[in-house]
Structure formats: structure tokens, C-alpha cells
Structure 1
Amino acid sequence: MSTLHGSWILDHTQGYLFIWGEAWRTMDSLESSDDDSVEIPFHPLRINKKELLSSLKSHNIALDKLLELDKSGQRITANSKIFKEKWQTQIITVPTQTGADEEELLPVLSGKMLSDTIDTSTLSLYLWQVEGFRLNPLEAGKFLQALPLGSLQQSDAFLGGELRFWSQIYRWSLDLLARGKFLPGLSHQEDGKVRSCWTPLLDSSVDQARLAKFSQLMPLGCRAYQLDPDNPKLEEPQELLLGFLTDILDVQLRNCIDDNILPDKELLVHSWLQSLGQDYASLEAEDTEVKRIETAINNWTLPVQDYLVNYADHKLKQNEFRTCLVLTPPLPGEINWGHFDWKLEYYLQAIDDAEFLIDAETIWQNPIEYLDIQGRTIERPQETLLKGLGLAARVYPTLESSLQESNPLQCKINPIQVYEFI
């Protein structure tokens, strides 16, 4: 029985999903990899195109029906040129058993790595070539959606751990779409062009927790795919996750947006909005015009910029702490004396733990770049607090008076202002 593998691979233009398969074979049936002309040998346990398609079909997955239409609008078939071009080679790092002389190499079958019968002392990491299908983001989404639902644990020998993992991440991307967790922007490409883009917005505690959890749970196999064999490395889990979410969300949104709603193309902002519904449309404009609209977008997204994924490098600018306002009612004794004002007290709050609060007084007493407190390190605590208070004042101007102080701690508000605040 064959096992299906695959992972998301970052590329400087657009990421893609690469899928391939392996199957147990007898030693006598293994292909020889002694060809000196091949610098990196082919994985002897890989399955060919026919076997892979047959394996997918046996699990009710017709790959050709999941692919995009060609430029003429015709359905891509298994015999079409485009379909054949999607069959490519990929270099991966695989645990490999070595013989006594270290010349006889055999990659370990993925199922064996989960058993206790393998002697890990005989294993080393080697580069191997595998053959499989390269799926663009839109095709990858359709493919992952067609996979059976399951947990991250091994429950189906047909699917390798990497694809079970990415099917879960794809469903996270659908959840982001349903909740409207995305914003439009501009991206500067390596070729100097500027194009519109859609980027994920991970500003909720739910998504922050998911990002941390999935980064920890990502199988090592997801990080083993190599674009540069001369400099092999394991990709960072968070960068892979954010790259996947960015590309998947971008194509999903472009695919469902009408790009003919703004006929006026004289203004760059109209061209930008229209391009958000087109396939990777670049903006042709003077640098000053691009800078103007980029400034407008940055000002618009300023309150949430720490939670927007950078389209170019797939990184999050987030700080692990954010400004928190705690509303405190007057004490019974204060009410008896006719004092009905409430307090809005200022804190820094950990994004991943709502109960972790550091009061503003502690922040101002420590004018340092990094504050170590209660087992955590807060980067630029005073700057983070002031930035958050400034953004809060834009939403609730009543705070502005307290920000005239050099070290604001709180803001007193009357019951009517409390109602307005809530």
C-alpha cells in the first residue's frame, strides 16, 4: 500500500503544494541509484505517476478534476500538456539507513519511523529526489479540501503526517475567510514591480493560539523540502504557516471578487482596488503615486499592523504584548461620599494569556529596552504601551486628557462616559 506525502513549499514568486508517494518494495525490486551522472539520487521507494494517480483514485480523489481550467477555458485532462508539466522533481531530506561502509544508502519508509523496530543510531539525513505533482495555491486548496477529515495523529496510513497537517491548516484558512480576517495591501516584488495583495489578519487570541500551537505541532517532514540543495536547511515552522495562509487566502479572495465594479482606471486607487480581483495584476504607476497610496494603506491599517502578515517575507510584526484598558468601578466608600467616577487603568497584557497583566506604573518605573518580569520578557514596554494608548485615544477621545501626563496611569470617567466607552 502506498503512502501519500507532500508539503507547502515557499517560492519567491508564489508558494505551491508538492505531493508525491512512496510504497514498500522488496530489495530485489529497488531501482539502482548508482548513476554517477546524478548528483542527488532518486528515492528508490517513490511511486511513479501512474501509481500515484491510481492511489488517489482509489481514495476517490480525481486529481485532474481538481485542477484549474486552461487559458482556453477547457478542462485539463491527464493527457494534456499542462497536466504533464505539473509532474516535476523535488529534493527532500530523508532519514536514511547507511551500511557499514556508508556507501549503501536506503531511505527509511515513513511508516517505519513511527515504529520501535528502527535503530536510530544507524540513521543519517541525506538528500533524495522524488517525483510528484506541483499544485498552485488554488489547486492546492481544492486538493486539501478533498482529503478526508482527521486529527493530526496518525489515523490513516494512506496520508502521511505532512498532508494531514496541511489539511488542518487549510481549514484554518477557511475559518479566517469566514470571519473576515484579511486586509488588502501592496507588495513590492523582487523584479521591482508592485502588485496588490490580500494578507491574513491574526489579531484575535484564537488565531494567536493556533499559530503557536500549529508551529509546535508541524511535522519535521513539512520542513524537509529543499529549493537549494547546495544550502539545505529546515524551514522555520511559522514562516511556512504564514506563507501558506497568505498565498491560499490571496487566491481564494481573488477568485471570488468581481474585478469589473470600478470602471474608472484614471485614479491609481481604482486600479489597485480592481486588481485585487485579478490574477496577480501588477500596478503600473509612478513611484510617487505608489508611495501615496501605500502611505494611505499604512495609515488605515496602523491599529492592526502588528497582526498583519508581511506578504513579501511571510513574517508577523507582532509584539507578544498589547495595551489593555481595565475598567474599575468606584468603591462603596467612594459612592457614599458622592464620588461616582470610574477608572480606566492602563496595563500591558500578554496576547496568549489574558490574565497576564503588567500595570502602567511598573512600566514607567522601568525605562529599559527589555523588561524581564514574571518569567517573561517584554520588548520596548513603554513604547508598546504608548502606541496602544495613542490608538485607543483615536477610538475613544476621552483618553486624550490623561495622555498629556508624562507617565499616564489611568483616566477617570463619569458614568455617562462609562456608558459611551462600553
Structure 2
Amino acid sequence: MSLLHAVWLPNPGAPHLALWADTWRVAKPRKLDDLEAPLLHPLALEAGDLKAWLEEIDRLPAEAQAIEVQLTLPSRSNGLPLMAGEAIPKTVQWWPWRVPALAMAPADAASWLGQLPLASSPAELGDDLSWWAHLQRWSLSLVARGRWLPVVRRLEPGHVQASWQPLLNHEEDRRRLEDLASQMPLVVSAADTPGALGCRRPSAKRLQVAQIAGALLDGQLRQGFQTSSEGLDPLLAGWQKALGPGDGILALSDDDSARLISATSRWRETVAGQVAPARALLELDTPPEGSELWPLRFGLQAEADANLRQSAAAVWNAGDGVLQLGEIQVEQPGELLLEGLGRALVAFEPLARGLDAAAPEAMELAPAEAFVLVRTAAAKLRDVGVGVVLPPSLSGGLASRLGLAIKAELPEQGRGFSLGENLEWSWQLMIGGVTLTLKELERLAGKRSPLVQHKGAWIELRPSDLKNAEKFCAADPPLSLDDALRLTASEGDTLMRLPVHRFEAGPRLQAVLEQYHQQKAPDPLAAPEGFEGQLRPYQERGLGWLAFLHRFDQGACLADDMGLGKTIQLLAFLQHLKAEQELKRPVLLVAPTSVLTNWKREAAQFTPELQVLEHYGPKRASTDAALKKALKSTDLVLTSYGLLQRDSELLGNFDWQGLVIDEAQAIKNPGSKQSKAARSLARPSRQSRFRIALTGTPVENRVSELWALMDFLNPRVLGEEDFFRQRYRLPIERYGDTSSLKDLKARVGPFILRRLKSDKSIIADLPEKLELPEWVELSGEQAKLYRKTVDDTLEAIQRAPLGQRHGQVLGLLTKLKQICNHPALLLGEEEVGADFASRSAKLQRLEEILEEVMEAGDRALLFTQFASWGHLLKNHLQQRWRQEVPFLHGGSSKNERQAMVDRFQQDPRGPQLFLLSLKAGGVGLNLTRASHVFHIDRWWNPAVENQATDRAYRIGQTQRVLVHKFITTGSLEEKIDRMIQEKASLAADIVGSGEEWLGGLELSQLRDLVSLEATP
């Protein structure tokens, strides 16, 4: 197997695209001592083999030159580069390699890239080529929309170079540039210097993408550029010639060079920087009675409000004065209108006939010209900044296409109506808001004109729509409730390729649709008989929502904020099924091991009638017969994610009535074993099996992780993974496609219920939460150790190979955070001495606050990410206050964990302080006895800290919660805290992977981040 890649060679004046391929084949490892860089890449195809292979797979460029390039590529420590398609490990090294390649000039590269698929690339194409394909499509879009200008730059005395460059002042183009830069694969810039690779700043990436797009655009424009020097200044004639085929170099005197550069610069600045209050407007009217000609009127339209318009006559009457568009004042409106009409000529040539007069106001179009304006030119005109208003029935989009108007109703049946059963329905053909019969459609089609008049409205008939209508009428398909739910989930959905313009639902069906799409909440359900407790109003609505989706055999994701009682709502739902005698077989609930005991206790408290069995531990059932025997008279079975995959065959053989997964983010990676096990178990069995997911994470905002969850709940909603990747994931995550995002949210919205604690309409009696930053300075010993660690480590990082720097950077950050806590952490001390507190300013401040907490009789949670720091703190705090301080960490057993929680939460004489590691104690615990939360050492992902805080700030909390976040001044803790605060809206994306984002910083950036600043 070989894999094709593309790399950009940014040679000044002559950039190229180079193709190369690596392949699976055995290569002999080398000793590092024997290496002489740069070596010939041992896995790369030679130039001759590369040409032959590309010809075999029909990818050989028409014009390509065999060359050898030097690329910086990921390599192993044994001296070999990674093989084709292999994932890049974190500890990879980056080495220079000589690679045979085929180089293409930008014009040829644009043509070759234009033939590549945008997504779902064939196996022989590397993932980076999908990025190249999107870049080329964008470049072609800039050409088509006229978003380019000629530019002149000085080379050396007596010579300038003319080129075509993109004009990127449009908001959509700036956003597209940002998206492409953020998603740019490393291999694209592998020809850069080794020191620049992998640590490029966002601004540098944006600049590189803009330069590549500019080179591709320049190459394409030169190919078809026609020059005409008739009547031109000799200087402009030479410049125009330089913009045609060739290198664009023009020999000029210094005065002529300055003249030309100044003129083009002012031109570009004017076009790029001017934001006019109004734009030229073309308004198309339908032909008057007895005429075939279409009136086209000119005018101005306000940029801020498209409904504010003035005719061309009013524009000319204003002369050199000011034209009023509502409250907007437009100076020199005539000049603005003429300039806009001149740009409109680029997109719609027939306009030239109407511009003969000195003050043009309107013109008439032939039917064929009107069709061109409606079908293609209107979009191009809007792209170049000209407003277009079409008749309502021809206004564009799906509404102007032939489609369907549907009336449907649920039959009179019981509450068990299924999604697959048919509705009572009728349909009519519709276009432009006007209905028509099949006979009328046939009559109109017989006129053989794309624009025809029907019932007083002009409509467009497309041949493809006529064929789809014929197929639909011949098939006369049924309409199911499932179809109705899909057609009303998002605008623009189709039935047998015909868009649905109008969907009228009868009263019974409308009630179902409103509840299903959460336009109207399903009827709430009170706590069922046998439920010991009181449901809050929003929990009754949650119970009603679960019961509603269960009625139609649809999976449900209860994504309420942490602490709002997802456990209680699920238990109430199971009790509801039992009370209604619908719970015929056991339900399997999968949860992290740490919360199994909590589930068992909550079930015993709120739903004592439910028979609960814990499938956990060495004594659990291990055979089909033993499991079947153990599950007699059982309603709910609890097991862990680890056992779900370990006992997958055993659990899969049993016919569960339902499957519930708690902390559902555990299956977000579709390739993980536990995700595959959960999704496999959720597949339809001999009888219907309901599926419910519980999570406090807003999954609707994590596109790449959404597929696995929906594949567990309702597989058909998002289809297979390959389809999801092509239809949603790539367009949204890589290229910011808002229409795909809107469609995705509409499709998954009915299955996800999300409520937040911050919404007072949901829960008004939750007490206040206050966050208090605790600023502390470093002690003398800490500051000295901090500076020495920075100096020594930065020097080592500077000398280290590129591939080792990432790990060393993260190691440095860990050491500095340890020093900010206490010198003993870095020095590896295991004993607590008499001077332990005096050596750390952070510990001294912690003791001061804890003194007040202890005297007030309050309880507190103390979170740290270092287990070694937790053990030292435990010993020190126990000595300081002469009472137990439990420490829950990754090494705590299930029984130890639960015992610590019970003593803290339930024992009136239990410990006042509870130490927890952030990883082991940050989820799945209810610790509402605490009214203080201490984050002793900061985690750079705010979501992780908030999740830990919510162990105390949740339902059941009756006291105000004070959250103390310690920050050492002048250190990296303060600087990263500042960075997070400044970019609060992007914090989740920036620090979503812990500190990994810091590993790629340039040395100068790293030095600024970790250097210790003097404090006043």
C-alpha cells in the first residue's frame, strides 16, 4: 500500500506543489550514530515508481517535473520515519529526509487539485489531500466571484513583479481562511525549516494559507488572461502583459516602478477598505399583461437593512447631494450606483444594454435573459456586492423548486402507535407558493419554457424536478410517522427527491410533532406509585419526556447539568414502567465503577420496589444459566464499563428490556472497546430494547463525539460512521459549514434534553456559588528553585532535537506547578518536617482559610492533581488539626472510596476536610455536606475544575458554596489564568486537552510563559 501526499515548496518567485508517496515496506533500522542527515527517505517511492503508480491509479499530473526535496518528517528513535498512515505518537522525533517528488507549477497544481474528491478520499490518498482539495475549491470560488486584484511588488532596482492576489475582505472568506489555517496538516509545510514545523503561530498559518491560495489563484488567472494594449499608457500596457502567462517580471525605471506600485496600492486599499452605506440594486418585475419582456429596475439598497430602497430616479434627482434611505444618509449616490452597476456587468453581461444613458433607470430583459438572471446570475451579483430582488415565486432556494404540500393526521389508535405505521395523508404539487395538479404541470411543461405563468404567478420548471414528480406520482408512496418526524425536523428535507414546502398536521399528529421537536414539552408525569420521594417540576417534565420517547421506541439522552438529578429521573422512569406493568424483563445499567454503590443506594431509597442486582466482583454470574438464574425477579442490573466489555458475550446473550449508560461520555470514542461493546448491546434484539444515555456533558456541541452516542441511541438518525464523517463531521469541524451544523442539531435535537443549573426557571432554590481567587507569592526557597528549574530546563530544551521538545516542555510545566505547591514535591521528599508549612506560601494561605473553616464547623473539599502532594497534605493537615483527613485517589479501592464518602457526607462527627485527586474524585460523587471547595493547584481546563466543584454544588446543597482557586503571582499559574480569562469564549477549545496545547510553543513564547516576574 502506498499513500500520496502533497507539500508546498515556497520558493520565492516560483512556488510549486510537490507530490510524494510513502509505502509499506520493510526497511532496515539504523543506529543513530550512523546517520548522516539528510538521508534518503527509505519508505518513499522513487521518482520513476511514483510516476508509474500515479499513472496506474489515474492521478498522474499532465505537467510535472521529477525533483528531490528535503522534508522534515516524523521519525522513530531508531532512525526510521513513520510508515504510511501511521498515527503520530506524542514522543515522535522530527528528522530531515531527502524525498523524491513530482513538482507542478501553481496553474497545473490547481488543475490537478480540482480533480480530487472533497471527502471520503480513496485509500491511496493521504488525509492531507482532502485539505488541499478544499483549498483549491476556495481559490476557484475567489476567481468565480471576482475576489481578486492585480498587485505589483518591487524585486530589485529596475524590476517589479506583477501578480493576481486574492481580496479577502469579505467576512465569509476571512472565516474560510481561519478554518483552513486551523485545520492545515503538518505535511503541507514539511518543506519549512525544522525549527518552524509544529510550532507555527496561528497568524503564520493564516499567512501561509493565504499565500498558497494566492499562488493557485494567480496561476489560474494567468492561463486565460487576454491582453489588449490599444489606447493604453505604455506603462499600463506592459503591466497588463506581465499579468498574462509567464513569471510576471517587468523591467521599469525607479520612477515608473513607484508610480505603478502607488497606483495599485491605492486601488487595493480603496476596494478592500471602503464600506459604503448602500449598494447598487437590480429589481426584476414580472412581464405586464400581453408582454414577454421582463422589466429590470435600478436603484440603491441599504447595506444595513435590505428593505430600505430608493429607485434610480430618486438617486439622479439627488444629484451631488445626500440621498435618504430611512435614517441612513448616502453621499454622492449617483457615483455609488454607477460604480455598482459597473461591477454588475462582470456577473451579468446583458446589463450593458441598459447603461447607454447618462442616468440609467431601468431596462427590459428577454425571457432567456430573465431566466439566466434568476437561475445563475443573481447569486454571482450578490457575491460582487450588488443587491438583487426577484419576484416572490422566483426568489431562489427550495421554495422556487417544484415540491410537495402535505396534509397528514394520526389514525384513531391506542397509545402504542409505532413510528413505522402509516399516516392518513394527502398531497399536492407546489411551486413558488402556488399549488398545481399533475395535469396543470403537464400543460405547463408542454410550453417548453423554463419560466412559465400559472395562476398569476411566474414559476421556474426544471427538467430534473419534472422527472422527480413523475416518479413520485407513479410510486404514490405511503407516509409514516417516522417520515413526518424527519420532514419536520429541519427545513429543506425531501420525499423521493421532492422538497416539502408545506406540511399541515392534524390535531393528533401536531401534538406529537410539537412534543417530539420540543416546541411543546411532553406532558409532565408525576412521581409514579411506589416512588419514595418528591420530584421537582423540571424532573416531572424529564420523566414525561423519557416516557414519550419510549412510547415511540426512540433512544433518549438526558443531558441535564451535573447535580440536577438525572439518577432520580431515570429511577422514576423505571418505577413508572413497573407501575404500568410494562417492565417485563430486567434493565441493564452501565456506569463507572465509582458510582455503582451510589446507584444501588439511590434505588433502595427512592424505588424500593425495584429489585436491583449488582453484576460486579468475582462472585458475579459467569455463565448463561447462572445469569438467567440470578436475574429471576430482577428489575435492574448494575455493572461497570470494564465488565461490559469483559462480559460482552455473556451480557449480549440475555434479552434485556432496556439498556442505560451513565456518564455516557465514556463511549464518545467510537473505536474504543467499551464504546463498541455498548453499541453492540444496543442493537435491536428479538424484542424491542429501549436505550437511554445519561451525561452532564453538552454533547450537542461536540460534533466529532456525537456519532457514537447517537449510534447507541438511534443508529438510523446519523447513519453509518463514514456517512456521518462526510456529511457532518468534516464540513463542520474542518470547514465551519453552518448549514450542516444546523441540519445536524435539528436531527439530534429531539433525542437530547439539556437543562442548566444557571437557569432559574429550572431550579430557583439552589444557593449561591462564589468563586474566590486566592493570590499568593512564592516563598524564597520556591522562587529560587523556580528560577533554577526554568534556566536549566530551557537550556536543555534549546539543545534537544525537535521531536523531544514537546515532552520536555510538558515536563517543565509539571515541575513548575509542583514548585508552586511546595518545594518538597520537586525534591522528592516523603516526610513532613516541622518547617513544612513555612516553605510554601500557598500552604500558609491554605492553613489560614482552613482555620476559619474548622472554627465555623464547616466542611471542605480539597482537590489536587498530584497524588504525592495529596499524601503530604494529608499527613500535614492531620498533624495540624489532630483529626482524620481522608484522601481519595486512583489507588483507593471501591469499598474504601465509599467508606470515605459516607463518613464525610453522613457522619455528624465525620471529617471536616476531604482531600481528593482531581481525576479520581472529580466525577460521580455527591458531597453536598461541603460548603467550601479548594482547587489547590490549577487545572488548565475550566470544565474539569467546574465538574469537580459540582460534587458540592448540586441538588441537596443548602449552603452557599465558596470556591477557592489558588494562583501564585508572577508564575506561570498567573499567566495561564490570564490567558484563559482573556479567551473565555474559546477556553474549552484552547485547553480541551489539558496542557497538550502548551507543548508546541516556540522557545521565546515558552520563556515568556514560565519566567518568574517580580511582584510589587
In structure 2, distance between residues paired with 1:113 and 1:303: 47
In structure 2, distance between residues paired with 1:88 and 1:223: 17
Match of 1:257 in 2: 225
Match of 1:295 in 2: 262
1:7 and 2:7 aligned = yes
Supply the RMSD in Å over aligned alpha carbons. Answer: 3.6
Q: 1:243 to 1:121 in 2, by over 3 A?
A: closer
Match of 1:343 in 2: 327
Match of 1:93 in 2: 72
What is the CA distance between 1:276 and its match in structure 2? Answer: 1.7
In structure 1, distance between residues paired with 2:224 and 2:167: 19
Superposition pairs of residues 56-75 of structure 1, within 5 angstroms: 56-63=54-61, 66-67=62-63
Could you list the per-position Cα deviations for residues 77-128 of structure 1 after superposition, in whole angstroms to 9, with x for gaps in the alignment?
Answer: xxxxxx6xx2222122222121xxxxx31111141217xxxxx355222222
In structure 2, distance between residues paired with 1:306 and 1:221: 35
The answer to whether the Cα contact below 8 Å between 2:158 and 2:254 also exists between their aligned partners in 1 is: no
Match of 1:112 in 2: 86
Residue 134 (structure 1) aligned to one of 64, 86, 103 = 103
The answer to whether the Cα contact below 8 Å between 1:7 and 1:17 also exists between their aligned partners in 2 is: yes
Match of 2:53 in 1: 55
Could you list the per-position Cα deviations for residues 19-44 of structure 1 after superposition, in whole angstroms to 9, with x for gaps in the alignment?
Answer: 111111124xx497999695311211
In structure 2, distance between residues paired with 1:291 and 1:216: 37
The answer to whether the Cα contact below 8 Å between 1:328 and 1:342 also exists between their aligned partners in 2 is: no
The answer to whether the Cα contact below 8 Å between 1:199 and 1:246 also exists between their aligned partners in 2 is: yes
What is the CA distance between 1:326 and its match in structure 2? Answer: 4.9
In structure 1, distance between residues paired with 2:118 and 2:211: 23
Amino acid at match of 2:14: Q
The answer to whether the Cα contact below 8 Å between 1:23 and 1:47 also exists between their aligned partners in 2 is: yes
Q: 1:36 to 1:193 in 2, by over 3 A?
A: farther
Q: 1:198 to 1:344 in 2, by over 3 A?
A: same
Identity %: 26
Higher Cα radius of gyration: 2
Q: 1:141 to 1:105 in 2, by over 3 A?
A: same
Residue 155 (structure 2) aligned to one of 173, 181, 189 = 189
Q: 1:306 to 1:128 in 2, by over 3 A?
A: farther
Structure showing greater relative contact order (alpha-carbon pairs closer than 8 Å, 6 or more residues apart): 1
Could you list the per-position Cα deviations for residues 225-274 of structure 1 after superposition, in whole angstroms to 9, with x for gaps in the alignment?
Answer: 23x56x55456321221111111111211110123x21567621222123
Q: 1:92 to 1:171 in 2, by over 3 A?
A: same
Match of 1:150 in 2: 118
1:16 and 2:16 aligned = yes
Amino acid at match of 1:262: S
The answer to whether the Cα contact below 8 Å between 2:29 and 2:79 also exists between their aligned partners in 1 is: no
Could you list the per-position Cα deviations for residues 330-369 of structure 1 after superposition, in whole angstroms to 9, with x for gaps in the alignment?
Answer: xxxxxxxxxx994349xxxxxx9xxxxxxxxxxxxxxxxx
What is the CA distance between 1:199 and its match in structure 2? Answer: 0.9
SS in 2 for 1:106: coil
Superposition pairs of residues 306-345 of structure 1, within 5 angstroms: 326=304, 342-344=326-328
TM-score by length of 1: 0.60
In structure 2, distance between residues paired with 1:328 and 1:183: 28
Which one has a larger percent strand, Structure 1 or Structure 2?
1
Superposition pairs of residues 41-52 of structure 1, within 5 angstroms: 41-52=39-50
What is the CA distance between 1:205 and its match in structure 2? Answer: 1.6
Q: 1:242 to 1:304 in 2, by over 3 A?
A: same
Match of 2:572 in 1: none
In structure 2, distance between residues paired with 1:305 and 1:94: 39
Q: 1:271 to 1:159 in 2, by over 3 A?
A: same
Amino acid at match of 1:11: N
What is the CA distance between 1:300 and its match in structure 2? Answer: 2.6
Residue 162 (structure 1) aligned to one of 125, 128, 143 = 128
In structure 2, distance between residues paired with 1:121 and 1:274: 51
Residue 246 (structure 2) aligned to one of 255, 258, 279 = 279
Unaligned runs of 5+ in 2: 275-301, 308-323, 330-735, 737-980, 986-1016
Could you list the per-position Cα deviations for residues 287-334 of structure 1 after superposition, in whole angstroms to 9, with x for gaps in the alignment?
Answer: 222222332223333223459xxxxxxxxxxxxxxxx975699xxxxx
Could you list the per-position Cα deviations for residues 48-71 of structure 1 after superposition, in whole angstroms to 9, with x for gaps in the alignment?
Answer: 1232122212221233xx11xxxx
Q: 1:139 to 1:327 in 2, by over 3 A?
A: closer
In structure 2, distance between residues paired with 1:303 and 1:373: 33
SS in 2 for 1:269: helix
In structure 2, distance between residues paired with 1:281 and 1:122: 45
In structure 1, distance between residues paired with 2:42 and 2:31: 8
Superposition pairs of residues 374-385 of structure 1, within 5 angstroms: none
In structure 2, distance between residues paired with 1:132 and 1:31: 23
Amino acid at match of 1:302: E
Amino acid at match of 1:206: E
Q: 1:95 to 1:328 in 2, by over 3 A?
A: closer
What is the CA distance between 1:46 and its match in structure 2? Answer: 0.7
Match of 1:177 in 2: 143
The answer to whether the Cα contact below 8 Å between 1:182 and 1:201 also exists between their aligned partners in 2 is: yes
- Equivalenced residue count is 290
Match of 1:244 in 2: 212
Unaligned runs of 5+ in 1: 68-82, 99-103, 115-119, 308-323, 330-339, 346-351, 353-371, 377-422
Amino acid at match of 2:104: L
Match of 1:406 in 2: none
In structure 1, distance between residues paired with 2:154 and 2:132: 27
The answer to whether the Cα contact below 8 Å between 1:327 and 1:342 also exists between their aligned partners in 2 is: no
Match of 1:124 in 2: 93
Could you list the per-position Cα deviations for residues 162-218 of structure 1 after superposition, in whole angstroms to 9, with x for gaps in the alignment?
Answer: 222112111111111111111112121257621221111112221111001111111
SS in 2 for 1:45: coil
Amino acid at match of 2:148: F
Amino acid at match of 1:242: A
Match of 2:188 in 1: 222
Which one has a larger percent helix, Structure 1 or Structure 2?
2
In structure 2, distance between residues paired with 1:280 and 1:264: 25
In structure 1, distance between residues paired with 2:147 and 2:325: 37
In structure 1, distance between residues paired with 2:156 and 2:206: 22
In structure 2, distance between residues paired with 1:274 and 1:341: 43
In structure 2, distance between residues paired with 1:294 and 1:237: 27
Match of 2:902 in 1: none
Q: 1:373 to 1:91 in 2, by over 3 A?
A: closer
Q: 1:266 to 1:211 in 2, by over 3 A?
A: closer
In structure 1, distance between residues paired with 2:12 and 2:241: 24
Match of 1:399 in 2: none
Q: 1:216 to 1:328 in 2, by over 3 A?
A: closer
Q: 1:194 to 1:43 in 2, by over 3 A?
A: same
Q: 1:121 to 1:326 in 2, by over 3 A?
A: closer
The answer to whether the Cα contact below 8 Å between 1:7 and 1:166 also exists between their aligned partners in 2 is: no
In structure 2, distance between residues paired with 1:36 and 1:232: 26
SS in 2 for 1:184: strand
